[in-house]
Amino acid sequence: MPATEKNPIALIVDWGGVLTNGLDHMLTNWTGQENIDLEVYYKVFNQWLGPELEKELRINPVHALETGEMSVPDFEVELAHALLTLGNIKVNSAGLLERMFQFFEHAPDMNGLVHRARKKGIKTALLSNSWGNTYPRHGWDDMFDEVVISGEVGMRKPDADIYHHTLDLLKVKPEESVFVDDLAHNIKAATDLGMIGVLHVDYESTREELEIIFNQKFD
């Protein structure tokens, strides 16, 4: 991505899959522990997130969980029921998500990059869709100017309102910000608003792209 005429002044990053290990790695380990067929898990979420449900938040457990409209225990019951229905897979619903999030691992390189960016005077924010999980917030005061968690604000990515909310908190225009996420549809939503999007695959490629965009070194 070429450098913009005017360098951006804000860096907004996702949590799971950006500041942690990749989602695929987490899911592989978690489903292995729970004896869940990963293909059945994906089948459940393809049904829940399919186009026929996109406009019906009330019957979409993922959307409802992310915006705080569904409790974690209720979501765990829904997920356990769906796994049983679609794949005849029996799991203990109680604590299912807590066991899942045990497999998220801190990514020190990306966390360090955000720290260094803020020390260079770049405004920073976390923008994360929550699943009722507890975030490891130690050190965040030094890392972020603003923290936006979907379940705490009643909005979720990729809806435009949560991006606008984050930008308003940072007091920046869309074109003055860079958004890093590991999911392409969240990046597209950001770029549709005029933000600069960086699809996170690994630390090195993200660092190199951010150095070009901000015209600064982050190593």
The closest alpha carbon to 180, from 199, 204, 155, 153, belongs to 199
- The ranges of the chain with pLDDT < 70 are 1-5, 50-59
Per DSSP (E only), the strands in the chain are 10-13, 123-128, 146-149, 177-181, 196-199
Map tokens 């809806």 to a residue: 159
pLDDT of residue 45: 84
pLDDT of residue 148: 98
pLDDT of residue 120: 95
pLDDT of residue 58: 42
Q: Cα separation of 9 and 182, whole Å?
A: 21
Q: What SS3 state is found at 4?
A: coil
Q: Cα separation of 60 and 49, whole Å?
A: 7
pLDDT of residue 5: 64
Contact 162, 186 (CB under 8 A): no
Quick check: bond before 174 cis, omega within 30?
A: no
Please tell me the number of Cα atoms within 13 Å of 193 on its side-chain side: 25
pLDDT of residue 3: 43
How many other CB atoms sit within 10 Å of the CB of residue 204?
10
The closest alpha carbon to 186, from 160, 158, 155, belongs to 158
pLDDT of residue 48: 82
- In the chain the domains, ranked by start, together with CATH numbers, are 10-21+105-214 (3.40.50.1000), 23-101 (no CATH)
Distances (CA, A) of 173 to 163, 164, 178, 207: 11, 9, 10, 22
This prediction's pTM = 0.86
pLDDT of residue 51: 55
Q: Token pair of 36, please?
A: 């869940």
pLDDT of residue 92: 94
Q: Across the chain, how many H-helices and E-strands are there? A: 11, 5
How many other CB atoms sit within 10 Å of the CB of residue 60?
20
pLDDT of residue 117: 97
